[in-house]
Structure 1
Amino acid sequence: MTTDFNDKQMRILQVAEQLFAEKGFDGTSIRNIAREAKINIAMVSYYFGSKEKMLEALIISRISDLKIQLENLIREPLTPIEKVDRLIELYIARMHKNRCIYQIVHFELSNKKREVNLKSFTDVKRKNFEFLREIINEGQEKGVFRKDVNIYLIPPTILGTYFHFRMNRPLYEELLGLDTDESFENYIKNDLCKHIKQTIKALLTNENQ
């Protein structure tokens, strides 16, 4: 599927993402999307054909630049630990920006009640593991990281911590005294990000470091 979308297509995808997040995939129709985007329903169908194809296109539009960012990170003159820190920052920034589509996609992946081709999404995840493995291998060669690291559990540790915190927002607002949107988002950007970095580095580094 192409990653080159024109202005009308991007407008449709933006509206679709918003409605999918608000009403759910099943609760949103092509007609709803066309009306909200102020675009003829026939044109929406012409561009995407179905909601399933629209979801596939939405995923493509959100992940198309991730590979480039990871490649740039690998090439930067940083230590393995610094690269891990930057990788975590990148993950959290992208999850924050695209949290609606992440929630939609993970629901579809676990639900399996319809045929949605999510190969592009899983391909990116597979590529993420390759980049992560390269960073971990570098750290292991330099004696910084443990030899028994389970690479496949690192991304779910990052994502799981982030989404647990966000999905339980009322509880953490009360516990941490986060009484404004700004204070909640700042806590994620600073304190939660720091906690995740400490957790991942504790899993990666040798005990005598």
Structure 2
Amino acid sequence: METEFNEKQLYIMDKALALFVNVGYSSSSVRAVAKAAGVNVAMIFYYFGSKEKLLEAIFTRHLQALERKWVEIEGLQKEGEPLYNLELFVDGFLGLANESQNFFRLMLRQSTLLVHDGFRFAKIAILKRVMENLITKNVNIGIEKGIFNKEVDPEFVMQFTTGTFFHTMIKYDLNNSSNPMADVSEKEIKGLNKNLKFILKAYLKYGIQ
């Protein structure tokens, strides 16, 4: 069952996310979050309890959106069309990453601080398994049908797709250090989508020679 948030909570989370990305989570006090959202500190504690719980709420909100996206993608898959389905995965991942670039920035930075028994680690691990299952299923179908090279590694497909986007985001942030919240442009996302699919097709067909 999904966690629901009211409009005020969503507004505070948006302002907090922007602040965490701009100056860093550890450097953002509850008072700074309250100021950015135009509310008092008491309201932050009333709705979230603490800065850590506010961060958890941000992760819950966005990871729920990701989970809904994968359910949608699974519903759009075509039986016996593994290449189409994997391209659908690329479209879905890049589309959602493009819509939620600040969250993906935050998730990338927080991933280095996650503990294996923590809330965020557990949530991300569940989502990762869903994505891996979707990819593995279609890679195996492609191999069985003789469409894909038998040496294709499903884990590499996921690492290549997600890792390339994160690399692009890091490169973009380094090139725009004066504005850490600058989004990767729509043009670059479209170019990345095209190039990812081109290389992915070659890998699926020929493997690593």
Q: TM-score, normalised by structure 1?
A: 0.82
Q: Distance in 2 between matches of 1:81 and 1:42?
A: 52
Q: Distance in 2 between matches of 1:40 and 1:172?
A: 36
Letter paired with 1:96: N
The answer on whether the counterparts of 1:52 and 1:116 sit within 8 Å (CA) in structure 2 is no
Match of 1:121 among 109, 119, 124: 124
Question: What's the offset of the Cα at 1:200?
Answer: 1.8
Gaps of 5+ in 2: 177-181
- Correspondence for 2:133: 130
Q: How many residues matched?
A: 198
Q: Give per-residue Cα distances to partners, 1:97-153, cap 9 Å, x unaligned.
A: 22222222222221358x952111221111111122222222223221223322122
User: What is the percent sequence identity of the aligned residues?
Assistant: 26
Cα distance change on mapping 1:193 and 1:172 into 2, 3 Å: farther
Cα distance change on mapping 1:21 and 1:160 into 2, 3 Å: same
The answer on whether the counterparts of 2:82 and 2:138 sit within 8 Å (CA) in structure 1 is yes
- Correspondence for 1:197: 197
- Correspondence for 2:169: 166
Q: Give per-residue Cα distances to partners, 1:164-207, cap 9 Å, x unaligned.
A: 2333238989xxxxxxx99x724323222111111222222247
Cα distance change on mapping 1:77 and 1:17 into 2, 3 Å: closer
Letter paired with 1:65: A
- Correspondence for 1:143: 146
Q: TM-score, normalised by structure 2?
A: 0.82
Cα distance change on mapping 1:64 and 1:77 into 2, 3 Å: closer
Letter paired with 1:87: F
Cα distance change on mapping 1:199 and 1:168 into 2, 3 Å: same
Question: What's the offset of the Cα at 1:60?
Answer: 1.3
CA RMSD of aligned residues (A): 2.7
- Correspondence for 1:187: 187
Gaps of 5+ in 1: 174-180
Letter paired with 1:163: F
Letter paired with 2:112: S
The answer to whether the aligner puts 1:106 opposite 2:108 as a matched pair is yes
